[in-house]
Amino acid sequence: MSLFQDQTKEIIDTSKDKVICRYTLIDNTNGYAEGSLYFNNDMYKIVSGPYGKGYAPKGKYKAYSGQLKHRDEEAYSQFGFGWCLPIGSQFETDRTGLMLHPDGNVKGSLGCIVFQFEGLDENVHCYNSLRDYFERSNILNVEVV
């Protein structure tokens, strides 16, 4: 019997060259979801929604080298360190402007996938992992499942 009955180990193993977001719909009325983001052998807590049009639609996205940016605005910052990474859908949707970023001033987002970091070290580690990835590759695949 596997220690990872929910396939977490397999997801972590396949998240070396892509981001995998798994979330569960918490509030369908308001479009709020919670879950985990897997990247580069790490797992982070995330939320998406309930503001705007709610959580990010499930599907495949791409992020590109040169788009990972520092952001000073409170909405993109946790523990005094802010950043964002735009993600573009690879399927037809009316949703635009979606990003990965730390969850700032209020819990949740307008549909972005936002990190619930436990401290500054985790926030900086995640940013550095993304930065290091883009030093060796121009495109990062993001799957929301």
Q: Is residue 109 part of a domain?
A: yes
Domain assignment of residue 60, given as a range: 8-144
Give pLDDT tens digits for 57-97. 999 999 999 999 999 999 999 999 999 999 999 999 999 99
CA distance 107 to 115: 10
39 falls within a domain: yes
With cut-offs at 50, 70 and 90, classify the pLDDT of residue 4.
very low
pTM, two decimal places: 0.89
Q: What is the count of structural domains for the chain?
A: 1
Whether 107 maps to a domain, the answer reads yes
In a domain, 116, yes or no: yes
CA dist 24 and 14 (Å) reads 20
Residue 2 resides in a domain: no
- The verdict on residue 3 lying in a domain is no
Question: From residue 126, how far is each of 32, 42, 49, 85 by CA, in Å?
Answer: 23, 8, 21, 12
Per-residue pLDDT reduced to its tens digit, 112-126? 999 999 999 999 999
- The enclosing H or E element of 58 equals none
In this prediction, residue 2 carries a pLDDT of: 37
What's 85's domain CATH number? Answer: 2.40.440
Is 15 a domain residue? Answer: yes
Confidence class of residue 1 from pLDDT cuts 50, 70 and 90?
A: very low
Residue 90 lies in a domain: yes
pLDDT value at residue 18: 87
